[in-house]
Structure 1
Amino acid sequence: MTILVFGGSSQIGHFLLPRLLECGESILSLSRQPRPEQAGVTWLHGQLPDQVPVLPALSAIISFGPLQPFADWLAATPLKGAPRVIATSSMSAETKRDSAVPAERAISQLLREGESALAAACARHGCAWTVLRPTLIYGAGLDKSLTPIARRARRLRIFPLPGGHGLRQPVHADDIAQAVVAALACPAVAGRILPIGGGERLSFVEMFRRVRRSQPGATLPLPLPGGLLRACARLLPRLRGPLNRLDTDLIADNGELQRLLGIHPRAFHPDPTMW
């Protein structure tokens, strides 16, 4: 049978496709942009929710993109059989639920509505589904959080070190890919939303220090005291949410992930290849 992947060119897809190929799977992957040929992977041109080519019978469908367009497509698409469905959401569904910033509360609401829509679409088809909620993702140089900071510091030779003692739990994209592969063969995780964080919880400050130490060249540390950051939060509304969370724990409980899937994500030890 064949597995369809939405987001095969994403940071999780970067690690997932080789793992699926190692398992001997036949892979279709949808992309909005032309992709170079890849042995074992057939790239389709299209876009969710309404620009997807006609598909063969599928054994599984995996999505790393926005949940609502995926759920809309799934609800409206005739499927042959009942393929296994696995998608990623985000721990922001919980951590931003009570944010002081309306736009962040809206993101949380949108994520949770997407999860519900996906469950409803799968119920319509009789498909077993699982949603993974990652924390901060890193590892392929494609994230929009730590990688831009690391690359800017590499250019400027200055590394900002914001004050903040909230715990973080960055998760490597390959650990998420491993969880997806494990979930494909695990009926026990059907109908579940599973948090997935890294194998280590560390302070916000320590996370930044380790990113700095992973740089290939020397950078000058630039401490940013809490008072300065609080002033920035008042003056720059778009930064209010992230700065207000510097002392808030943004973590995940990996208990169910470990018990049901046997996945134990790695600790946070980045190296230059990850940025």
Structure 2
Amino acid sequence: MTVLVFGGSSQIGRYLLPLLAARDESVVALSRTPRAAAHGVTWLAGQLPGEVPAVDGVSAIFSFGPLRQFADWLASAKLPLAPRIIATSSMSAETKRDSEVPAERLISQTLRDGENALAVACAQHSSDWTVLRPTLIYGAGLDKSLTPIARRAMRTHVFPLPAGLGLRQPVHAQDLAFAALAALDTPAAAMKILPIGGGERLTAGEMFARVRRSLPVDTLPVPIPAWALRMARRGVARMRGPLSRLEADLIADNTEVVRLLGVNPRPFRPDGDCWR
């Protein structure tokens, strides 16, 4: 039997592929560009939306990319073995539901539509599915949230520290890989959407401070007071959403992940390797 991975080169996929290969699974991963087989993984060229090569004997599928595109492909794919489906969505499906920014409300709706479409497509194949909804992901240097901030600070040696009392719960990409693999092996996780965050909740301000302390170079801390953030929020339209969320709690309840999957995500203790 074969495990098919969409998003094998993503931040979660980079940690999952070695775990699958260590189980002596036949692993096939999809990439936009051809790659040589390595470490027990066969790479095929393909992408969503677009052409996906046919793979025989697929018993399980992981998807770490756009959920709706994957669901649309799944609905028309030929998968006679009713493979187990593990996919990721995002806690933005809930945290951005009532955002004051229309574009963010649309992101939330798109994520929830993708989750619903996935459930429908899986039903067509009689496939069990599990969706993980992670909070902010870090750890592989591929995220578009903390890594750009860290790298900019390393270049400029200046680190802005915005005030923010909203709670954060960053989750390491490797812990998501552990959770995805555990979901594959846990029948009780089938047909569930599971929130997952890191093992620690901290304020947004403390999260940024820890990123700064983790950097391998010295940086000048530049505190940004709350009043300056409020002015920017009113005056710069594209910053309204991100700045308003500094006072909002963007967290997940890990109760079900711990109970069903036995996964206990690590606390937020980043080091310099997280941003490379």
- Give the TM-score range, shorter chain: over 0.9
Mean alpha-carbon deviation: is it higher for 219-228 or for 191-200? Answer: 219-228
State whether structure 2 residue 51 is matched by structure 1 residue 48.
Answer: no
Give secondary structure in 1 for the equivalent of 2:142: coil
Deviations 1:230-252 (A, max 9, x none): 11112221111010011111000
Between the aligned partners of 1:237 and 1:211, the Cα distance in structure 2 is 26
- Give how far 1:261 is off: 0.5
Normalised TM-score (structure 2) = 0.98
| Whole-angstrom CA distance in 2 between matches of 1:34 and 1:235 | 46
Q: In the alignment, which residue of structure 2 is the partner of 1:267?
A: 267
Look up the match of 1:196. Answer: 196
Q: In 1, distance between residues paired with 2:168 and 2:24?
A: 36
Name the counterpart of 2:84.
Answer: 84
2:39 aligns with 39
SS in 1 for 2:71: helix
CA deviation after TM superposition for structure 1 residue 36, in Å: 4.4
Equivalent residue runs for 1:18-33 within 5 Å: 18-33=18-33
Superposition deviation, residue 34 in structure 1:
2.8
1: CA distance, partners of 2:46 / 2:265: 33
> 1:241: which partner in 2?
241
What SS class does the counterpart of residue 55 from structure 2 fall into? coil
Amino acid aligned to 2:273: T
Unmatched 5+ residue regions in structure 1?
A: none
Aligned-residue Cα RMSD (Å) equals 0.8
Question: Alpha-carbon deviation of 1:150?
Answer: 0.3
Q: Does residue 6 in structure 1 map to residue 26 in structure 2?
A: no
Report what 1:108 is aligned to.
Answer: 108
Give 1:52-71 correspondences, 5 Å limit: 52-71=52-71
Partner of 1:159: 159
SS of the counterpart of 2:247? coil
Other structure's SS at 2:159 match: strand
Aligned-partner Cα distance in 2 for 1:188–1:11: 26
- Matching of residues 160-199 of structure 1 within 5 Å: 160-199=160-199
TM-score by length of 1: 0.98
What corresponds to 1:16 in structure 2? 16
Tell me the amino acid that sits aligned with residue 95 of structure 1: T
Alignment partners' CA distance in 2, 1:14 and 1:54? 23
- Secondary structure at the aligned position of 1:124 is classed as helix
Check whether the contact 2:196–2:257 (CA below 8 A) recurs between aligned residues. yes
Contact persistence 2:36–2:42 (CA under 8 A): no
Per-residue deviation, 1:54:
1.3
- The Cα offsets for residues 108-165 of structure 1, whole Å up to 9 and x where unpaired, read as 0000000000000000100000000000000000000000000000010000100100
- How many angstroms apart in 2 are the aligned matches of 1:274 and 1:37? 26
Q: 1:213 maps to what in 2?
A: 213
**Which amino acid letter does the alignment assign opposite residue 10 of structure 2?**
S
Distance in 2, Cα, partners of 1:28 & 1:79: 15
Query: Residues 158 and 115 from structure 1, CA distance in 2 versus in 1: closer, same or farther, beyond 3 angstroms?
Result: same
